[in-house]
Amino acid sequence: MRMIKRLIHSLVHTVKTISISDSLIKTFIFYFDAFGPEKTQATSVFRLGALPFAARYGDWVAVHEITIEKEYNFLSYLIKDASSPVIIDVGANIGLFALYSLLLNPRAHVISVEPSADTYALLCRNKELNPGFHWDTHRYALWLKEGTVRFTNQEYSTNSSIGAEKGNEEVPAITLPALIKNLIPSSIDIAKIDIEGAEEAVLCGNESVLKGIRNLIIEVHPAKSSLNKIISSLRSVYPFIYEIHGRVSKKPLLLATHVRYPLPEYAEK
């Protein structure tokens, strides 16, 4: 067993840039499990198509969702033929949604927003690994009011969230209206919001702001936000709401839009 661990260790540190494959993901999960939690901050570089990105053990949920499960394949309907779509990615994590958007349409202008300091640093590194794109990054937590909020970092970066007084990090907060007014240079073609339970607080009551977003992608966390209230807010703005099926996660992933697409429409629960 010790020889196997040494072999994997040697392989990981010898191969600098690797294309994603299902078997490779499993190999790396085994590698990190075998070497314990002291290795969880180590990064390796992979590729999404032709685009390189760095990831840690704790980022594998995001890697799996976007590169293996391809949960955002429907994005091609929205931006593939657009001239230069403006995309905001709130809860950007290490930037895989942004990279997938740029892979589909290199002319896109992407604005990524991520609160966690360590994850934001890796997001910026992934931007640096892919020069030449119109890609901006900002460190904020999307919230009810501006100022600062406590943020809780978890072992898996996709589970990190605003944590009230119990958060282990203080991060700058921004409201949705302020985000759009101060950071977005033009109309918004797509907004992807994945903020781990803060979506009800951020979206409900901001329907007038949502009218400036053509397509809204949102992951709802029913344990922390009311799905019914969010759907009610979305229906006041968007004529079509689709739910993306076939996901590993049980949390609803919704697309609210003004356009009819060949996707399953959201069915009231």
pLDDT in tens, the chain (269 residues): 444 444 444 444 444 344 555 445 554 554 454 445 455 567 888 888 899 999 887 888 888 888 888 899 999 999 977 899 999 999 999 999 999 999 999 999 999 999 988 899 999 999 999 999 999 999 998 888 888 877 665 544 444 445 555 656 788 889 999 999 988 877 899 999 998 778 888 899 999 999 999 999 999 988 788 899 999 999 999 999 999 998 888 889 999 999 999 999 998 76
Closest by Cα among 170, 233, 234, 223 to 197 = 223
Domain assignments of the chain as residue spans, ordered by start = 69-257
CATH architecture of 69-257: 3-Layer(aba) Sandwich (3.40)
Which residues have CB under 8 Å from 48's CB, separation 6+?
20, 66, 67, 96, 99, 100, 103
Q: Give the separation between CA 172 and CA 122, rounded to whole angstroms.
A: 18
**How far lies 257's CA from each of 114, 194, 225, 237, in Å?**
24, 17, 21, 9
Amino acid letter, residue 203: L
Q: How far apart are the first and last CA of the chain?
A: 49
Dist CA 123 CA 142 (whole Å): 17
SS3 label, residue 163: coil
Here the contacts of 158-164 (C-beta below 8 Å, separation 24 or greater) are 158/59, 158/61, 158/62, 158/65, 158/93, 158/196, 159/61, 159/196, 160/115, 160/116, 160/119, 160/196, 161/195, 161/196, 161/197, 161/198, 161/224, 162/115, 162/195, 162/196, 162/197, 162/198
pTM for this one? 0.82
pLDDT of residue 154: 55
